[in-house]
A = this chain, B = another copy of it.
Amino acid sequence: MNSTDGKTGPRFAPVILAGGSGTRFWPRSRRAHAKQVLALDGNRTMIQQTMDRLLPLASAKNIWVVTNHLLDKVIAEQLLPVPRGNILSEPAARNTAPACALAAFLLEPTEPDTIIGIFPSDHVIKDQARFDEVIRAGVALAASGERIVVLGVPPTRAETGYGYIELGETLDASTVPCGDLPVRRVKRFTEKPDKARAEQFVASGNYIWNSGMFLWSARTLANAIREHCPQMAPLLEKIAAAHKLDQRANFESLFAEVYPLCQNISIDYAVLEPRSAKGEMASEIYCLPADFAWNDLGTWTSLHEHIANCSPEEAALVNVCDGANTQSIIIDAKGNYVFAQGKTVALVGVNNLVVVETPDALLITTRERSQDTSKVVEELKARGRYDLI
């Protein structure tokens, strides 16, 4: 097992991406109180859980967070161990490529060999031991060359909401450092497929879900940006230079001026897809299986299944009445998820509903339709109801 604290092995710097809003968790999630700062499944918020599972692998001083000005204060309060200066607030949302690259350009000048890990802030992972094992293997693999490591989740259904990765050659510890884990080269990245293609992917056994978690050295990532995003690289270098001077006021104004000039693009589109187009041997992209009970908690429905700790089929039989001091009376009802606080919830003759109540809003939908909650947020925006989004 390789160490990742930088003392006896490569230094590891996790970058937590926390700029999203999670509109599918409305009415609990709001712009200034987004999904990642909510305690959806217990006492710790999603971003706190993200930090918690990284702390066995990295010093808190090496953890970075990229978020926005609506969320940075609450995130700083929630992640007390992380230095305030490591919490960067994007002056404008520019998707994941500039956010990931920013960290690379900040670290490259002084510690180019540090392995940057990109971690979304709103995932749940049940098997911490396996997570540790996979990340340590990934760090070692990323440190063994100009390699890019992506974590892929073995698909359990023909999901159309995720990107897929087509897998190539299978390698093992005799050829690359990967612990005892199976590792495969990446053939290509695929955008969210339609249902028919998703079914083909899953049936073939050669496709895996793109988890959005990546590992690569600061140098490798910075160079990849220089190669694939030649307009973005100098902008980020300028920002990094200002950051190094540590003159906070000057940095902030330059950051606010320059960062919005970056292309609004995901790291997948900006780097991984063009890189994988070089072919599986030349691209040097490797995939490790993220088989640590991962769930991206994308909708109320997946939260229902996560809390009930069961499959979608089983969840259709289980009622979850969630929220502080929530009690329930169930009469001929099953498969419902209800969130309310300090209330007695009575379900009579209803199935597969999702009902979420906050002091100013009440969402009523179904397990099947809960993904369309984001449409409610769109409608509220169209009506100018910024108090509710």
Contacts and interface: CB of A to CB of B under 8 A. Distances in A.
Interface stretch (A1-9, A245-253, A374-382): A374-382
A48 to B, nearest CB: 28
A336 B333 CA distance: 18
B349 A380 contact: no
A364 B357 CA distance: 12
Nearest to A323: B362
A347 B365 contact: yes
Contact of A343 (B344, B345, B347, B360): B360
A44 interface: no
A366 interface: yes
Contacts of A385: 344
Interface of A: 26-27, 329, 331-333, 336, 338, 340, 342-350, 353, 355, 357, 359-366, 368-370, 372-373, 375-376, 379-380, 385, 388
B332 A376 contact: no
18 contacts: A27-B346, A331-B375, A336-B364, A338-B364, A342-B360, A343-B362, A344-B361, A345-B361, A345-B362, A346-B363, A346-B373, A346-B376, A348-B366, A349-B368, A350-B353, A350-B364, A350-B365, A353-B364
B376 A331 contact: yes
